[in-house]
Structure 1
């Protein structure tokens, strides 16, 4: 009798867990990884000598992105649009064991980017970035 009850419970457990929905196939579907990245809204674009300076916003943060000018024809980023920039800071934060970030050492006023002085915006921007997927004003 116990074997019958155990067999009954086993079959109830197996059939209760069976899914009736067919799995969705993802074969041959392109997955765009940029859909998973954070998007930054471009709010201003400046030009200083041979460098573009892009000001972008994400949530409450402001970002200053520098990019060397490039003459390759391409669709350019535009003010008011959002882009999935992959950012990397150009401002050193550590020198050995010392913290040399701009918040700690306030007399550092900016960085040199390919011979062009790029200043911080002390009231809002204390870091300067490059976007690994931006060439000139073209998304890569």
Structure 2
């Protein structure tokens, strides 16, 4: 399934990615770094790497610390970001050549239970790149 339609699917995917011992050639974690050009470069690189490693998809995850995989949240709101007046997702799709299929999911994440309390909801963003 390329499009993850609900919160439960996104949280399950995030849990699967967080248990990786480290970032891979097809999974990249970022906290709050926002540069449209670099996001496009990451999407391109992750797509190529996923293909080379025979993976169906690559993942660029914002809101996760890369060394610890702790959920930090992100202030990036891709649906609200514009690049030269154009929505980020559309701008990225036009810039990537050859065309790369990707989708950006932005969702709240409440985290795990910690000592009888639930941590605050944090915003996350996952760009899923399909080969």
Q: Give the TM-score taking structure 1 as reference length.
A: 0.26
Q: Which has the higher helix share?
A: 2
Larger radius of gyration: 1
The normalised TM-score by structure 2 is 0.27
